[in-house]
Amino acid sequence: MDIVWIRAQVRKGDYELTSHADEERQADQISIEEIEQAMLNAEILETYRDDPRGPSCLMLGYGREGYPIHLVCGQTPSKTLRIITVYIPTPPRWIDPKTRG
């Protein structure tokens, strides 16, 4: 996954949110605008080349209020950016936004 390509897709609005990602974002009260903002300032933390759904990555970006947002995204066979899940990293799974618990 390439961060430049990801940002370009977000700027064009050429992405899709899975139903799982939509449920998770609502549970954590993350707006679509915050997802877009987070993706535009994100860094890739982990790359999953062997994901059965296709290559994907874990990204860390920040919402409007400066809180961390994790996003897992991949690319569809038709070359659309797919946001697989989105959540706010919290203990015990995460020590801090970049360190697993």
What average pLDDT score do residues 70-95 get? Answer: 95
Whole-model pTM?
0.94
**In 10-96, where do the E strands start and end?**
15-17, 43-48, 56-62, 68-75, 81-87, 94-96
pLDDT (0 to 100) of residue 1: 84
The C-alpha angle with vertex 74 and arms to 53 and 20, in degrees rounded to 5, equals 75
Q: pLDDT of 20-70, one tens digit each?
A: 999 999 999 999 999 999 999 999 999 998 888 788 999 999 998 899 999
Q: Where are the domains of the chain?
A: 3-95
